[in-house]
Amino acid sequence: MQSTNLLPAGALCLCSLFGATTTLGAEPRTEHTYTVADGEQRPAATLADAHWLVGSWTGTAFGQRFEEVWNAPSAGSMVGMFKLFDGDEVSFYEILLLTVEDGTLSLKVKHFNPDFSAWEDKADYVNFRLAKLEDDALHFSGISFYRRDDDRIDGYIVMRNGEDITEHKLTYERQH
């Protein structure tokens, strides 16, 4: 069972991707993010659109540091791992799954506390559906990634706390 495209209040999700230009049913959500309504056409995409993501990344988000690693595509998916931390204190972990469903990309995320207890119920996860594809950006409903060059990405995520919706920036640097 999957959860909605929005994160629970206060939840964080960090991911990064890139693609080619296609809009279809995408509509602006915040200054840097888009959404696509249920039933609207989503852009065609494959894992090849995210091939440059493979490797190790570090960066900053929410006043803390993060580490993110993506494996190369295999068996129809890409798997990523993420850790947000401040000094020696871990805030949370994520397991990320990028797959092709119905000819387009879906990014599934499962969150874990520092003790590795899950945020979502056993069968649940957060599902970000591809909304828009650009030459140097990939937009999922509620999270967008802008490729600045081969070693830098700016990410933007929409967070909801009750009725308040805010956009937060994430900066990524590739580790060599």
For residue 67, the domain's CATH number is 2.40.128.20
The whole domain housing 154 covers: 26-175
In order, the DSSP letters of 15-75 are -------B-TTEEE-SSS-EEE-TTS------GGGGGGG-EEEEEEETTEEEEEEEPPPBT
Q: What is the pTM of this model?
A: 0.82
Within a domain: residue 146? Answer: yes
Residue 1 placed within a domain: no
pLDDT tens by residue, the chain, 176 residues: 444 433 333 333 333 333 344 446 788 889 899 888 888 889 999 999 988 788 999 999 999 999 999 999 999 999 999 999 999 999 999 999 999 999 999 999 999 999 999 999 999 999 999 999 888 888 989 999 899 999 999 999 999 999 999 999 999 999 99
pLDDT of residue 17: 35
Element (H or E) spanning 79, and its range?
strand 77-86
- Asked whether residue 18 is domain-assigned, the answer is no
Give domain status of residue 150, yes or no: yes
- pLDDT at residue 133, as a whole number: 87
Between CA 42 and CA 60, with CA 21 as vertex, the angle to 5 degrees is: 90
**What's the structural domain count of the chain?**
1
In a domain, 114, yes or no: yes
Residue whose structure tokens are 């509620």 = 142
pLDDT score for 8: 34
The pLDDT of residue 67 is 97
The per-residue pLDDT for 58 is: 98
8, part of any domain: no
- Identify whether 77 is part of a domain: yes
88 located within any domain: yes
DSSP 6: S
**Residue in the structure block whose two tokens are 């070693």:** 151
3-state secondary structure of 88: coil
Identify residue 95 by its one-letter amino acid code.
I
Return d(Cα 118, Cα 93) in angstroms, integer. Answer: 9
Q: Please report the pLDDT score of residue 39 as a whole number.
A: 82
What pLDDT is stored for residue 24 in this prediction? 61
How many Cβ atoms from other residues are within 10 Å of residue 6's Cβ? 17
Please, are residues 57 and 65 in contact by the beta-carbon 8 Å criterion? no
